[in-house]
C-alpha cells in the first residue's frame, strides 16, 4: 500500500467514524432532521456547520496549491452553472435521502458495522448509477 492509499484509507475511516458518531448514519435521526413540520431534530444542522467549518481550511489550501502531497493533481469540479442534470440529480438524491434517511456514505458505514439492511438502499443505488451511465453513453445512439 502506497502513501496515497494509506491517506485515503485514514480519511475514509475518519469520515465513516464521524458519520457514525454524529448520527448521520442513523436513518431515524436523519428523517427527524428532514421533518421540519413534525418532530424536527436540528442536531444534524450543527454537524453540518461543524463539518463545513473544519473543511473550509483544507479546501481553500487545495484550491490554492492544486497539488497533493505526492505531486498528484486534485480533480476539483470545474462546472459553475446550474443545469438540468444538476437539478435532476439533486432532486433524486434528496428524495431518496428523505424517503429512507440514508445516503451513499452512511450506507457504506452501516455495512462496515455489519448492518446489511443498508444493502436494500445501496444495491438499487448502484443499479441506478450504472443504468444512468449506460443510458447516457448509449441513449443517443437509439
Q: Note if the pTM is more than 0.75.
A: no
Q: What is the pLDDT of residue 142?
A: 47
User: For 59-97, what is each residue's pLDDT tens digit?
Assistant: 888 777 767 766 677 777 788 899 988 898 899 888 888
Q: What is the pLDDT of residue 70?
A: 65
Q: At residue 49, does pLDDT exceed 90?
A: yes
The gap from C-alpha 102 to its chain's centroid, in whole angstroms, comes to 10
Amino acid at each position: 500500500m502506497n502513501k496515497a492509499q494509506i491517506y485515503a484509507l485514514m480519511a475514509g475511516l475518519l469520515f465513516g467514524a464521524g458519520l457514525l458518531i454524529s448520527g448521520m448514519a442513523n436513518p431515524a435521526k436523519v428523517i427527524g432532521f428532514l421533518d421540519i413540520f413534525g418532530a424536527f431534530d436540528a442536531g444534524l444542522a450543527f454537524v453540518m456547520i461543524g463539518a463545513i467549518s473544519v473543511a473550509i481550511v483544507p479546501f481553500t489550501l487545495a484550491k490554492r496549491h492544486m497539488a497533493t502531497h505526492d505531486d498528484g493533481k486534485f480533480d476539483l469540479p470545474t462546472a459553475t452553472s446550474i443545469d438540468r442534470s444538476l437539478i435532476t440529480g439533486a432532486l433524486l438524491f434528496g428524495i431518496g435521502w428523505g424517503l429512507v434517511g440514508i445516503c451513499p456514505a452512511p450506507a457504506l458505514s452501516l455495512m462496515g458495522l455489519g448492518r446489511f439492511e443498508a444493502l436494500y438502499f445501496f444495491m438499487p443505488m448502484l443499479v441506478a448509477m450504472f443504468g444512468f451511465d449506460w443510458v447516457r453513453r448509449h441513449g443517443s445512439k437509439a
